[in-house]
Structure 1
Amino acid sequence: EMADMKVPGRGCTAALAVLLTFSALGRCAEQVPLIMWSSEGSATTSPSPPAAGHVVSGDQLESYLRAALSSSPHNVLLFMQERLSVDDFTMYGGVFGNKQDSSFTNLEVTLQSSTTSLVLPAVDSLATGEVTGLLQEQLDTSPLYMDPETLAQLRLNASVATLLVFRLPYGTGVDMMSTKDVLSGNDDVIGQVMNIMNSQSVPYTAVYTALSASRTIEDVPLSLHSVGRSLLQSRQKISPPVEFQEKGSTCILLWAENLNVELLRSGKWERHDLAPMTFGESSRVKLSGSFCNASHSRLVLNYENVLNFRSFKLIFAMSQRHYKVSARRWFTMDQVVLEYDGQKATFNASRYVYAPAEYSYRCESVSSFRYAQLFPHSDKDRANQWRLSFDDFQIQGFNVTGQDFSYASDCASFFTPGIWMGLFTSLLMVLILTYGLHMILQLRTMDRFDDPKGPAISVPQTE
C-alpha cells in the first residue's frame, strides 16, 4: 500500500508537501496527520489515496494499516505525540521554512532514506487515538513502551513481531518550553531511535502521529455563505489583524475587538471606538511611522477626525531582551502613547503587558482604569484626562511567522476568583476541624472515684 505513495530520492519534500496541499484545501476540527515509513517494502495492491480535503476515518485507517503491514517488516515503531497538526510542519518544518531552522531535520532525513512512505494529512483524531490498538490487533502482540536508552539495550529479532511505542510530549505542557523547542526535542528522539535501528540492521516500519490535534481550525462550509436573504443564519465575521511589514515580511500583528479612547471634556467622558477604523474592510488606518528590528518595535496607527482632533495617533512601543533569571528572552509593551494635534499622553504598560519573545500577548481587557494595566507616565496632567480600554486585545511585535499570531500568553492569572473561593473555604474547614480536635484532646477523666463498698466519708462537725 505504501508503494502507491512512494517517495524516492528527494521524497521527503514531496511527501510533506502533500500535508500543505491538504491543509490548504480542507480543514476541520480535530484532524491529525499520520506519517508512516519503512526500511523495506514492496509494491502491493492498495486502496486509492484519499482525495484532497478528505478526512480518513477509523475504518479507512485500519485498511491502510492492514495493507501496509501485509508486506512491510513487523518490527513496528510507533511515535505517539500528545498533539500534532499540519500547521506544526508548515510553521516549523524545513520544507516550507528556513532549512537551517527546521524542527523536523531528522524526520526529513529519515523519509528521504526510507524505501516507502505514506502520508495521511487529515485523519480523524478518534482514529489516531486507536492506532496502538489497531497495530496490536494486526501484529497480535502487546505494545512495549520504550525510550531510546532502553531500546539500545534491546536486541530485536526480524522474525518476531514487536510493537515499540515512544511517547512524545507537546510544547504547551512541558515547563513553559516553546512548541518549537519541544518539537525539535521530539525530532531528536526520532533520530536516536532510527540510528539504533540502523545499527542493529533490523528492518522496521515506523508510524508518527498524535492523540489529538494541536490546532483546531473551524472551516465554514460554502453552504453557510448566503447568496440572498437569510434569517437567523448570519455568522460573525472575524476581521484580520493589523499587519505591519518590514522588508517584505510581517513583524508586528495587532488585533482587538474594541479600541476605546475616552477624553474628559467639561466634566464628561467622550468615548470613541477606533476598532471599526482599524480592522475590516472599512479600515482607514495608516501605519506610517511604524518600524521593527531585533530589539525594538513600534506600531503607529494614524487616524483623522477622532474626537474633533484632525490628527490622532495611537502608538504601541515594544522591546525585547534576554533575562538571566528566566534564561530566555521576553518582550514587553513599554508604552502606549496618544498623540493628538501636537499634544501627547503617555501610559506605561511594561509592568503588566509582557510575554515570552516567541509568544504573542493576549488579554480579555487592557485598561487604564479597569484593572489598571496602563499607568500615566511622564505627562501626568494630560494622561489623566484620557482613559484607554482595549477588549479582547492581542499583540505580537517579535518573531512573527507568516500572518498568524504565535501561541498566546494570556494575562489571566492562575489564581482565579473560583480558585480563591475554594482555597478560603478549604482553609475555613481545616480551622474548624483543628479547633474540634483541639477541644477533644483537652477532655480529662476524674483521677479518683468514691468506693460504694467502703466506709462513708465522715466530716466532723464542730460546735
Structure 2
Amino acid sequence: MAGPKCSSRVRLMAFLAIFATLNSTASSVAQVPLLMWSSDGLPALASTAAGHITSKDQLMAYFTSAFGSGPHTVLLFLQDKLSKDDFTVFGGVFGNKQDSAFPNLEAALQSSSSSGMLPALEWSDSSAIPALLQEKLGVSPLLVDADTLSHLSINTSASNLLLINLPYCTGLDKTCKEVLHENDETIGKVLSIMKDKDVLYTAMYTGLKPSRVISETSMSIQPAGRSLLQAVLPNVAPPIMFNESGNPCIMLWAQNLSISTSKDVWIDLAAQTPSMAGSLCNGSNSLLVLSYESGYTLRFAMSRRFFPVSARFWFTLDSVQLQANGLTASFIGSRNIYAPAEYSFHCQSVTSFRDTLLVPNNTNTNTTAWMLNFIDFQIQGFGLANGTDFSYASDCAGFFTPGIWMGLLTGLLFLWIFVYGLHMIMQLNTMDRFDDPKGPSISVPQSE
C-alpha cells in the first residue's frame, strides 16, 4: 500500500517491479493477482516479502478491516482467467499507453485516492472471492454490465456488490492482448459511469482462476544426478454428470463452453461449477440444466427415437437454450448432431455462427446477437454404462473432408492426363512405305 505522499508514477512502477520479481519466483500453489483501488480510501496493506502468497484467511482479515462498518459499494471485475504474467507480458511501459493492454486500469490506479495489490493470492476455487465479499458486505452479488449499470439506480445507504464478468483468451479470432484491451475498455466505461453517478466505490480486479499455473517440485525431493525430462499432464476437469435415482443418466464435457450476450464479449462457463437442478431423463427424453452463479443457464434438450431404416435407436440434440437477465435465446440442433442411442456425440467445434451446428431460433430482438461456441464438445444422454466414462463417440467430422476431396480431384486430374497421353501414343501408326535415298530423285516439271 503506497502512502498518500508517494507519487502515483512511483507506486505504479513499484507494482510492475513486484510483478516481475514474483514472476521469477513462482511456487507450486495456484495463484491469482488481486488489484484494488478506491475513491473512498482503503486501509494499508501489510508489506510482504517477494514470493509471499496471501492466504484466504489473510484476505478475509483485510476485508474485515476494509468493510467493517458502514455501507460500501464494491465493483468486482471478475475475469475468467488471470495471472501476474498477463501484466508483465501485455502491460507494456506505463509511460507509453500504446504498448499497454491496460491503459484505463493504469489510469485508475494513478488517479485513485488509495490503491493496493496482492500479486499472489492463494486460489482454491472460482467462488472464493465473491463468497468472501458477500459474507463481509451482507449482500448477494448483482451481475451487471456497462449498459445495465448506466440505467441502474444505486442506493448508497446500503452496501452493494456489483459483479462484472470479463472473458479471457478463447482462441476466437482475437489475440490475448486484444481481449485484455477490450476488458480494459469495459473497466474504463464502468468507472466513468460511477463517476457520472457520483458514487464512492471500491474496485477489485481479479480472476476466477489462474491463466497460467506454474508447478514446481521442491528441490529437496529431487533425486541427485541426471534425470529424464517428464511431461506434466494438464489438470483435466471431470465431465459433468447428472444422476437419476442414483444411476448415471447424462454426461457432458467440453474444453470451453463459451457464450456471448454482447458484441465481442465472451465468457467461458466451463471454468465455473454449475448446479443441475431441473435436469431430468427417461427412456425417450433427457434435459440437462446447467445453472451458474454468474447468472447464466444452459439447457440441453435431447430425445431418443427409433428409425426403421437403420433398425436401431438414435438420439439427437434437439435444442440448446441460453438464459440470462430474464431473457432466453434458443438454438436448434441441426441434423448433424446425432448419434446411435448407445453412443456419445463428439465434435471439435459446435457453434451458432460459423459452420453452424446450432441454428439460432430467436424471436426476441434483444437476443439475436447472442452466440454459443463449444470447443471439444462431447455429450451423451442415453445408454450410459457407468458413471466414469463416455460410451464410444460418434464424431461430427465426415470421412470426406475438404483435404480428402482436394487430393481425390487432383489425383483424378493427373490420372486423366496420363490416360489421355497413353491413348495418343497408342494411336501413332508406322509408315508402310519409305523413299529410297539412292534412287533417282523425283522431278516435278514446271509449266510456263
Question: What TM-score do the two structures reach when normalised by structure 2?
Answer: 0.48
